[in-house]
């Protein structure tokens, strides 16, 4: 199964080979969707983890034991249909196919089930029609 997480790295954990340890110790494939980590500073990373459900649970526990903060439900993407002009720019950057122009009208279709909440589409929209709606704390 797959699970999407936002990892918050404290400064002391930035240099850890997280994806390597996940692969070797837990047989978990980690696909990095977004990362903002500067050397010797704290940072965040959105990852999609793939693996056995028990190993995923063990891997999450291990990540937390290493001092990382885990956000399992960062929020969801919302499209403002009133602003959207169906230009398709967002669909060209979407890695999961959650955003696509559909025939015959070539209108933007958003499939929330496929969305990884990687947020790559947000800056791609020239009309600010895409937003991340944060989950309640």
The footprint of ligand SF4 (CB under 6 A) covers: 77, 79, 84-90, 93-96, 98-99, 108, 115-121, 124-125, 127, 129-130
Asked whether 7 and 18 are in contact (CB, 8 A), the reply is yes
Terminus-to-terminus CA distance in the chain, angstroms?
Answer: 25
> Contact 5/47 with Cβ under 8 angstroms?
yes
Measured from the CB atom, is 19 or 124 closer to ligand SF4? 124
Nearest approach, Cβ of residue 55 and ligand SF4 (Å): 24
* Minimum distance of ligand SF4 from residue 92's CB (angstroms): 9
Distance in angstroms (rounded) separating the CA atoms of residues 38 and 11: 9
Give min distance, CB of 93 to ligand SF4, in A: 6
């Amino acid at each position: 199964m797959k699970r999407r997480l936002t990892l918050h790295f404290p400064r002391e954990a930035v240099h850890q080979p997280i994806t390597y340890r996940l692969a070797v110790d837990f047989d978990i494939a980690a696909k990095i969707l977004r990362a903002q980590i500067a050397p010797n500073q704290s940072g965040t990373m959105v990852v999609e983890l793939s693996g056995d459900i028990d190993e995923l649970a063990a891997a999450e526990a291990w990540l937390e034991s290493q001092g990382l903060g885990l956000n399992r439900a960062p929020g969801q993407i919302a499209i403002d249909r009133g602003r959207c002009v169906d230009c398709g720019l967002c669909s060209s950057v979407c890695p999961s196919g959650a955003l696509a122009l559909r025939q015959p009208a070539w209108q933007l279709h958003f499939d929330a089930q496929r969305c990884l909440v990687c947020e790559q589409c947000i800056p791609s929209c020239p009309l600010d029609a895409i937003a991340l709606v944060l989950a309640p704390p």
